Amino acid sequence: MQPLRGVTVVALEQAVAAPYASRQLADLGARVIKVERPGTGDFARAYDTRARGLSSHFVWVNRNKESLTLDIKDPRGGEVLRRLIAGADVFLQNLAPGAAARAGLGAEELRARHPELIVCDISGYGALGPYADRKAYDLMVQAESGLLSVTGTPEDMAKVGISVSDIAAGMYAYSSILAALLERGRTGRGTHLDVSMLEATVEWMGFPLYYALDGAEPPPRAGAAHATIHPYGPFTAGDGKVVMMAIQNEREWRGFCETFLERPELADHPDYATNAGRNAHRETLGAIVAARFAELTSTAAIDLLAAVPVASARVNTLDEVWAHPQLAARGRLHEVPTPVGPVPALAPPGPTDEAPRMEAVPAPGEHTRAVLGELGLSAEAVEALVADGVV
């Protein structure tokens, strides 16, 4: 399924948020021309070398794209970019605050020239307000959004182990661009999208925000356990392996007492009959549940939980995720070419195509000459730009 074939996206992007958004568009068939710095390219290329010599972040968010290196501060580079944008459907950027506008690439200026263009700006805090000019990285936004205040153990806060604020902003940019394309199909006009990492992350904070409404106590930091539902979290089985399990309602609680704990009398115990009670007495109830897990192997525990049925899961290592039998059974594991050879890649969630788009992660500037040729530049003009370090 590639419904975005024929849509061209020019992405002046770096790091994670904008590249993640444009990769979703590319996965659905859009042509994404990624504009990078001459020489070094997107600085995320140098984050690490863990993906067989390439950056793990970069390989993750940059498949299915073309790479054009361009110095947009040079007037000749700026002109190339403007010509590219003139033929694009979407312009996406996440430069430092104010940098796009200073380069003549602000949304108002671009849309005055190209009313049909969809302009999507991704930033830490948005184009307006007292934080508009602040630099923002994922951890800073996790802090500002309150996410850190509810993540970790009672003793120590902890950052989420992935770039969750970048991902949130990237996904809202992606879905907003899809909506803008639909709207343009009806009206013929583009729009300006101003996506902030802060607002994207705060949207995902809805549960704790409402839980602590009007000055109420926030949900406590509970490590890997659920902060307000119990039992819901990790328990160690007798073989030393950790099993995650979750009770969601009173029907499950009763079945859990009868089948797993083999103590049916606990189902109606006044301390444990409701989730509020179980949560208030989680220390004593947790000791009962932990003692039962210690009597069982992890496999036996999971089998018993499935018989209730109660949700459970193993705590997989990353190697085990790559080899996950459910991903394999659903045909989600593929390969994508890179400058150092093929690497494994996951098909995008949703579409069930047997052959999803899995084109290469580009080398820096790999498509520069081809793209410039499409713009009508002669071979001599292109080589002059190369010689001058403009591309």
Which residue is listed with tokens 């997989």?
316
157 has which bridge partners?
152
How deeply is 185 buried, as exposed, middle or buried, from its count of CB atoms within 10 A (0-12, 13-18, 19+)?
exposed
In Å, the largest CA–CA distance within the chain is: 86
In the set 166, 194, 353, 388, the catalytic residue is 166
- Tell me the helix, strand and coil percentages in the chain, rounded to 5: 45, 15, 45
CA 138 – CA 164 distance, rounded (Å) = 7
Active site residue 166: yes
68 has which bridge partners?
35
**Count of residues in the chain:** 391
Taking each continuous run of H as one helix and of E as one strand, the counts in the chain are 17, 11
The number of beta carbons lying within 10 Å of the beta carbon of residue 375 is 14
CA 200 – CA 124 distance, rounded (Å) = 10
Which residue is listed with tokens 């003692």?
291
Q: Which residues of 20-45 are buried (b: 16+ CB within 10 A; e: fewer)?
A: bbbbbbbbbebbbbbbbbbeebbebb
Contact assessment for residue 285 and residue 277, using Cβ atoms and an 8 Å cutoff: no
Contact assessment for residue 279 and residue 211, using Cβ atoms and an 8 Å cutoff: no
Residue type, 226: H
Q: What are the residues whose beta carbons fall under 8 Å from the beta carbon of 255, sequence distance 6 or more? A: 308, 309, 310
Contact assessment for residue 12 and residue 33, using Cβ atoms and an 8 Å cutoff: no
How deeply is 112 buried, as exposed, middle or buried, from its count of CB atoms within 10 A (0-12, 13-18, 19+)?
exposed
CA 101 to the chain's CA centroid: 26
CA dihedral 234, 238, 241, 245 (to 10 degrees): -30
Residue type, 350: G
**Residues recognised as catalytic:** 166
